[in-house]
Amino acid sequence: MKSIFRLLVLFYFLIFLISLNNSSDNIIKSIDIIPISNNNNNNNNNNNNNNNNNNNNNNNNNNNNNISTVNTNNNNNNSSINNYNNNNSISNRLKVFIVHGQNNIVREKVSKLVFEMGFEPIILFEKPNNGQTIIEKLEKEISNCKFGIVIMSPDNKAFIKDQINSSDYIEIAYPRLNVIFEFGYLIGKFGRSNVIYLSVPYNGKFENYHLPSDLLGYVWVNYTEDLNELKNEINFGNYIKK
C-alpha cells in the first residue's frame, strides 16, 4: 500500500514538473518575443528619425544654398552701388577751372552747370589758402585741371579819350584785370583749344565795351539764361574730358 502511495506521489510530482517546465518555456518564449518586437520598433523609429534628420539636413543645406544665393545677390548689389558711387564721386571727376569777375549770379550758374555735366568746378576763392600767395594758389589749382572757362563780364568802368575829339572822354566798360590775366594764363597752360571764352552781354553801346586787342579775333560763346550755348560747346567741343 505504501508503495502504491509512493508511486502516486511520484506520478503527480512528475506531472507537476512537466507542467512547470511547459509554463516556464512559455514564459521564456514570451520574454524572448517581446524584446524582439521592441527592438524592431526602435529600429524603425531610429530609421525614421534618421530619415527626418536627413530631410532636415537637406532642408538646411537648401536653406544655406538659398542664403548663399541671397548673400551673393546682395554682394552684387553692393558692388554695383559701390561702383556707382565711385564713378560719381567728386574725387573721380575731371576738374574745370572757372575764371570769373564780379558777376556772382553768372559764376554760380556756370559752376552748377559744370557740376551737373559730371565735372568738378574749380573756383579759386573757394579753395584753402594754406599760406600761399595768390599766384602760387592759382598755379596749384590750375595744374590739376583739364580745361578752363573764362567768364568775361563788363564789371569795370573807366574813361578814355575820344579818338575824334581828344578833349572829350568816353565812358567804357571792360572785364576785371585779373580775369584778363588768368585768361592769358589758361591759354598758355592748356592751349586755346581748351579754353572757353564765355561773353556776358553789355547793356550799353557795344562800342563802349572794350577788350584787349589780342582777344578781338577769339570766337566766344554767348551767355544766355539757359546756358545752352555753353552746354553745347562743352558737349561737342574737342576739350580734354578724360
What local confidence, expressed as pLDDT, does residue 37 receive?
Answer: 46
Calculate the average pLDDT of the chain.
Answer: 75
Residue 2: per-residue pLDDT:
52
Residue 155: the pLDDT is 92
Whether the pLDDT of residue 237 is over 80: the answer is yes
Q: HSE on the CB side for 233, CA within 13 Å? A: 22
Positive/negative CA dihedral, 153, 157, 158, 159: positive
Q: Which carries the bigger pLDDT value, residue 130 or residue 239?
A: 130
- Each residue of 168-204: b (16+ CB within 10 Å) or e? eebebbbbbeebbebbebbbebbeeebbbbbbbebee
Residue pLDDT, tens place only, 66-112: 444 444 444 444 443 344 344 456 668 899 999 999 999 999 999 99
C-alpha–C-alpha distance, residues 32 and 94, integer Å: 92
Q: Distance between CA atoms of 99 and 183, rounded to whole angstroms?
A: 7
Separation CA 33–CA 227 (nearest Å): 101
Cα-to-chain-centroid distance, residue 5: 115
Q: Please say if the pLDDT value at position 17 is more than 70.
A: no
The Cα 16–Cα 27 span in angstroms is: 16
Angstrom distance (rounded) from CA 89 to CA 82 = 10
Q: What is the mean pLDDT of residues 226-241?
A: 89
Phi first, then psi, for residue 189 (nearest 5°) are -80, -50
Q: Are strands 169-174 and 156-161 parallel, antiparallel or unpaired?
A: antiparallel
pLDDT confidence of residue 3: 61
Q: Decide: 204 and 173 in contact? Cβ < 8 Å.
A: yes
Greater pLDDT, 178 or 29 = 178
- pLDDT tens figures, 168-210: 888 889 999 999 999 999 999 999 999 999 999 888 776 678 8
Instruction: Enter the DSSP assignment of 92.
Output: G
- Note the pLDDT of residue 116: 95
- The rounded percent of the chain whose pLDDT value lies above 90 is 44
Confidence band (pLDDT; 50, 70, 90) for 140? Answer: very high
